[in-house]
């Protein structure tokens, strides 16, 4: 059997050439229905051997080994962890960053928003899992603070951010409790109101990209790229928990390549 290549999306952003980043799609793996085919998550009921093969294939597609990939056990928390070396077990966190080369920071999603970060020099990189709960509770500000304050500290204005595939505003219908978690009298709380469009029956359509952009802007991050995907609409390309609860997960990943002087 001929191996298929992992079909990944590459950010279009002005990151240094030695910062390697991407998002997997559904294509190119070996998982069977309903996880077909590039599921990377172990907690969704898929076959463990298939997941391991998919992870290996993705790692090789990015010219890395599977041992260089740090996976998380995500809980919609606001916890970010810095890693110097990859742990065998998944870390309990919703964001991870590193200043080490060849250490791949990874988050998994299927509707929630993945956010990738690097600084202008490409000396540190981060991956953030931002669902609505994490966003409302401050995963972005928590992550930016940790990312910037690790000595030698950097300014948040130097950060470049990329927003990966998430549920689009046309499909992200939420109840009033979600709007109430974001909208209040604070400066950010007032800006957040624009991300909610009222529907019938006290429901709202929410724009998770806009909410993340407001949170990033509030931290001083203005170089923001990506967005504009919809995991629900683009069913061939993306897993979506809202479309089908029993499904796989994509991985969004970023690392600092060894060859720091290449290309730029």
- Tracing tokens 């298939």 back to the chain, one arrives at 50
* Closer of 178 and 230 to Zn ion (Cβ): 230
Q: Shortest Cβ distance from residue 96 to Zn ion (Å)? A: 28
Residue 232 CB coordination number (10 Å): 20
> Measuring CA to CA, how many Å separate 106 from each of 76, 197, 207, 219?
15, 32, 23, 22
Report the nearest approach of Zn ion to the CB of residue 258 (Å): 39
**Residue with smaller CB distance to Zn ion, 119 or 207:** 207
> Which residue, among 238, 6, 252, 250, has the nearest Cα to 105 in the 3D structure?
252
Q: Shortest Cβ distance from residue 228 to Zn ion (Å)?
A: 11
How far is CA 194 from each of CA 57, 58, 133, 166, 169, rounded to the nearest angstrom?
41, 38, 18, 18, 12
Q: Taking the CA atoms of the chain, what radius of gyration do you get in angstroms?
A: 18
What residues are paired with 107 via a beta bridge? 252
Closer CB to Zn ion, residue 170 or residue 180? 170
Q: How far is the CB of 233 from Zn ion (least distance, A)?
A: 3
Question: Which residue stretches of 102-171 are H helix?
Answer: 132-137, 139-149
**Cβ(127)–Cβ(95) below 8 Å:** yes
Binding site for Zn ion (CB under 5 A): 168, 170-171, 230, 232-233
Cβ closest to Zn ion, residue 168 vs residue 248:
168
Kindly state the smallest distance separating residue 81's Cβ from Zn ion, in Å.
32
Nearest to 54 by CA among 29, 25, 32: 29
Q: How far is CA 103 from CA 4, 42, 253, in A?
A: 25, 20, 10
Contact yes or no for 218/188 (Cβ under 8 A): yes
CB of 207 to Zn ion, least distance (A): 11
Q: Which residue has the tokens 């740090």?
A: 70
Q: Judged by CB, which is closer to Zn ion: 162, or 172?
A: 172
Give min distance, CB of 231 to Zn ion, in A. 8
């Amino acid at each position: 059997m001929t191996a298929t290549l992992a079909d990944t999306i590459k950010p279009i952003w002005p990151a240094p050439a030695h910062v390697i980043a991407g998002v997997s799609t559904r294509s190119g793996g070996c998982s069977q229905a309903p996880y077909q085919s590039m599921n990377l998550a172990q907690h969704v009921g898929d076959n463990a051997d298939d997941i391991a093969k998919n992870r290996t294939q993705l790692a090789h597609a990015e010219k890395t080994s599977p041992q260089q990939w740090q996976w998380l056990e995500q809980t919609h928390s606001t916890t970010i962890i810095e890693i110097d070396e990859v742990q065998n077990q998944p870390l309990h966190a919703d964001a991870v960053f590193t200043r080490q080369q060849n250490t791949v920071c990874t988050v998994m999603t299927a509707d929630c928003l993945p956010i990738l970060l690097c600084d202008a020099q490409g000396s540190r990189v981060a991956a953030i899992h931002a669902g609505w709960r994490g966003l409302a509770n401050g995963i972005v500000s928590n992550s930016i603070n940790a990312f910037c304050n690790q000595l030698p500290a950097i300014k948040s204005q130097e950060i470049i951010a990329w927003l990966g595939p998430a549920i689009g505003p046309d499909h992200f219908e939420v109840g009033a409790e979600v709007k109430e978690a974001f909208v209040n009298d604070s400066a950010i709380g007032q800006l957040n109101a624009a991300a909610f469009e009222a529907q019938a029956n006290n429901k709202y359509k929410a724009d998770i990209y806009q909410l993340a952009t407001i949170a990033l802007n509030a931290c001083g991050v203005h170089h923001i790229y990506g967005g504009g995907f919809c995991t629900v609409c683009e069913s061939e390309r993306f897993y979506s928990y809202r479309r089908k609860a029993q499904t796989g997960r994509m991985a969004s990943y970023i690392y600092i390549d060894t060859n720091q002087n290449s290309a730029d």
